[in-house]
């Protein structure tokens, strides 16, 4: 193996290049993996733009990327004790939590109370170097065995599929529920499938982009074109004036958060996974009087293992959201395609 690898290095907001950098060395309880596929997340685009200054990433230069799949090519000290071997196919997730704080002990490692503390917590591709490279190191807590029936490109979308399952779980969807989803990007579309897995009787996707509306309809979801009128009124009309039982907010735009809450019936619950970069005004009076619930949904917490068989069975249709593929050297073209509303891009796969 060579000493260096190709990697996408973000030098400062909106400036990046492909560089030769040292191949990382796996530490205790870590593996070194060759990255076969990594998908672009909306968070990556925000990070490249510098929308989270000093937080994601803590500093530049930085290698992003956190939705990936690949093959183990090296083991750090102790990794073999967990059953890992060179040649194993894996899919990765981002949160390498401490494992000992109260939230980790309770299984909510995505809320690790030692978040970002050196030596205790890493979030790959966010506050620690990521997978937009030929090789990546990951802790053994953050890799999952990729089933033989799933290729590497599909494996790179297991992490967002797990996030979609987590937001459906946070929404506490019950059999027979009507679920409305704001945003028909990858998480929104996959959340439509995970809502059905939990027993939703109706799934309504609300979107402004015509290409994504077409995709949602092609996947069999009911849709609302938010550019054609008041989407809140449209959803209420579709539900006999009552509103939806559950809303999953997957767009992360202030107005879509307001729409999601406005579309709920009394006693409804909104789980929000989109991350607005600015504040949101919430109609607190209705929140109180109608006993609405608004809960956050951060990444996933144990759903990686649970979503894989659903992907294998075709119940969570990862292949439907994979629209484009680029080599690492064309990352600039990939980002431009991702940001083009007319491209039809949903999940873009990068092949290092």
pLDDT tens readout for residues 314-347: 999 999 999 999 999 999 999 999 999 999 999 9
Q: Which whole number is the average pLDDT over 43-63?
A: 95
**What is the percent of the chain where pLDDT is above 90?**
99
CA geometry: angle at 119 spanning 118 and 120, to 5°? 95
Q: What's 90's domain CATH number? A: 3.90.180.10
| Per-position b or e across 276-313, b if 16+ CB within 10 A of its CB | eeeebeeeeeeeeeeebebeebbbbbebbeebbebbee
**Residue 303 located in a structural domain:** no
Q: Which whole number is the average pLDDT over 111-130?
A: 96
Is residue 90 domain-shared with residue 209, that is, in the same domain?
Answer: no
Is residue 117 domain-shared with residue 167, that is, in the same domain?
Answer: no
Beta bridge partners of 322: 347
Whether the pLDDT of residue 261 is over 80: the answer is yes
Is residue 59 domain-shared with residue 202, that is, in the same domain?
Answer: no
pLDDT tens, position by position, 160-207? 999 999 999 999 999 999 999 999 999 999 999 999 999 999 999 999
Q: Which whole number is the average pLDDT over 254-275?
A: 98
SS3 (DSSP) at 12: strand
Is residue 279 domain-shared with residue 215, that is, in the same domain?
Answer: yes
Mean pLDDT of the chain: 97
Q: What's 282's domain CATH number? A: 3.40.50.720
Residue-range definition of the domain harbouring residue 178: 163-296
Confidence of residue 2 (pLDDT cuts 50, 70, 90): confident
Q: What total of structural domains would you count in the chain?
A: 2
Whether the pLDDT of residue 233 is over 90: the answer is yes
pLDDT confidence of residue 1 = 75
**Residue 189 located in a structural domain:** yes
Is residue 205 domain-shared with residue 330, that is, in the same domain?
Answer: no
Q: Which whole number is the average pLDDT over 271-299?
A: 96
Is residue 39 domain-shared with residue 59, that is, in the same domain?
Answer: yes
Is residue 10 domain-shared with residue 143, that is, in the same domain?
Answer: yes
Of 222, 217, 197, the residue nearest 315 (C-alpha): 197
pLDDT confidence of residue 277 = 86
**Residue 301 located in a structural domain:** no
């Amino acid at each position: 193996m060579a000493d260096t690898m190709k990697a996408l290095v973000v030098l400062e907001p909106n400036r990046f290049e492909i560089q030769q950098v040292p191949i990382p060395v796996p530490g205790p309880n870590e593996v070194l993996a060759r990255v076969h596929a990594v998908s672009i997340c909306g968070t990556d685009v925000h990070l490249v733009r510098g929308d989270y200054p000093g937080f994601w990433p803590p500093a530049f230069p930085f290698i992003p990327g956190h939705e990936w799949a690949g093959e183990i090519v090296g083991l750090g000290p102790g990794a073999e004790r967990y059953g890992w071997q060179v040649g194993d196919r894996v899919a990765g997730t981002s949160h390498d939590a401490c494992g000992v704080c109260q939230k980790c002990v309770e299984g909510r490692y995505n809320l690790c109370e030692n978040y970002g503390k050196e030596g205790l917590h890493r979030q790959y591709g966010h506050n620690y170097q990521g997978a937009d490279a030929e090789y990546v190191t990951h802790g053994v807590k953050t890799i999952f065995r990729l089933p033989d029936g799933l290729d590497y490109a599909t494996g790179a979308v297991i992490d967002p599929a797990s996030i979609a399952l987590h937001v459906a779980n946070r929404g506490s969807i019950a059999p027979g529920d009507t679920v409305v989803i704001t945003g028909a990007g990858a998480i929104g579309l996959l959340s439509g499938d995970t809502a059905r897995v939990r027993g939703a009787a109706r799934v309504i996707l609300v979107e402004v982009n015509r290409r994504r509306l077409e995709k949602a309809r092609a996947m069999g979801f009911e849709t609302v074109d938010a550019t054609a009128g008041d989407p809140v009124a449209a959803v209420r009309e579709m539900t006999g004036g009552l509103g939806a039982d559950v809303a999953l907010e997957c767009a992360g735009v202030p107005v879509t958060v307001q729409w999601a809450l406005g579309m709920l019936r009394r006693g409804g619950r909104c789980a929000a996974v989109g991350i607005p970069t600015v504040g949101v005004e919430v109609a607190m009076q209705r929140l109180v009087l109608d006993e609405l619930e608004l809960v956050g949904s951060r990444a996933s917490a144990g759903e990686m293992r649970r979503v894989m068989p659903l992907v294998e069975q075709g119940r969570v249709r990862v292949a439907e959201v994979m629209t484009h593929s680029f080599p690492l050297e064309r990352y600039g073209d990939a980002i431009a395609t991702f940001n083009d509303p007319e491209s039809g891009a949903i999940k873009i796969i990068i092949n290092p």
